[in-house]
């Protein structure tokens, strides 16, 4: 339904917005394919968050990371954000880095706050048209995270904790097997 040469899902979404001739001020939500169990309330939340934050061109959600295995797993994308809910950075690495607790290979995550980025985005259509004009950013390519192209170009991304728990995404074969069991199929 869309071209096969898009470097990211955001680029693909812009093609859809252009084909549908959506207005520049419309808000469009992209649920990543690796988040098949995302609750509808969370989809509505991310759209409402973007509408409520006119200085931002994108919005996304997060949830707390409560165990070290998730924090140190590169398939779990982490996010840090400021007191106004604006993203500071996304990474596959543990961020922020707890200098003392992680020294010499430590994995004690008590006393800190870490956030898992949830694979959902809301965009203003006008932003999507800008996004596709920018080449993939160095950080985007390094981390393989498309939202870093927006950040590299000075775009504010609103981040908020999800109002409902979001089951983990499907990033590995083990995740797929877990999902199959959860949906009543065989692993």
Q: In the chain, how many domains are there?
A: 1
> Quick one: how far is CA 21 from the chain centroid?
25
- List the beta strands (DSSP E) in 33-77: 58-64
Q: Does residue 78 belong to any structural domain of this protein?
A: yes
Q: Does residue 70 belong to any structural domain of this protein?
A: yes
> Quick one: how far is CA 72 from the chain centroid?
17
Q: What is the pLDDT, as a whole number, of residue 146?
A: 92
Q: Collect the ranges in the chain with pLDDT lower than 70.
A: 185-187
Q: What is the pLDDT, as a whole number, of residue 104?
A: 83
Q: What is the pLDDT, as a whole number, of residue 111?
A: 81
Q: Does residue 110 belong to any structural domain of this protein?
A: yes
Q: What is the pLDDT, as a whole number, of residue 167?
A: 78
CA distance 59 to 63: 14
In which domain, by residue range, is 88 found? 9-182
- Domain holding 146: CATH number? 3.90.550.10
CA distance 162 to 66: 15
Q: Does residue 2 belong to any structural domain of this protein?
A: no
Rounded to a whole number of angstroms, the CA Rg of the chain reads 17
């Amino acid at each position: 339904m869309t071209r096969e040469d898009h470097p990211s899902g955001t680029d693909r979404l812009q093609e859809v917005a252009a084909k549908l001739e959506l207005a520049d001020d419309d808000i469009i939500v992209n649920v990543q394919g690796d988040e098949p169990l995302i609750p509808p309330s969370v989809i509505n939340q991310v759209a409402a968050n973007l509408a409520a934050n006119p200085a931002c061109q994108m919005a996304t959600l997060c949830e707390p990371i409560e165990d070290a295995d998730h924090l140190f797993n590169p398939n779990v994308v982490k996010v840090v954000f400021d007191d106004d809910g604006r993203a500071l950075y996304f990474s596959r690495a543990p961020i922020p880095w707890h200098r003392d607790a992680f020294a010499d290979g430590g994995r004690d995550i008590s006393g800190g706050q870490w956030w898992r980025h949830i694979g959902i985005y809301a965009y203003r259509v006008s932003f999507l048209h800008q996004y596709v004009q920018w080449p993939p950013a160095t950080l985007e390519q390094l981390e393989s995270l498309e939202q870093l192209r927006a950040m590299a170009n000075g775009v504010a991304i609103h981040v908020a904790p999800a109002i409902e728990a979001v089951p983990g995404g499907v990033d590995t074969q083990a995740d797929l097997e877990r999902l199959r069991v959860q949906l009543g199929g065989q692993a």
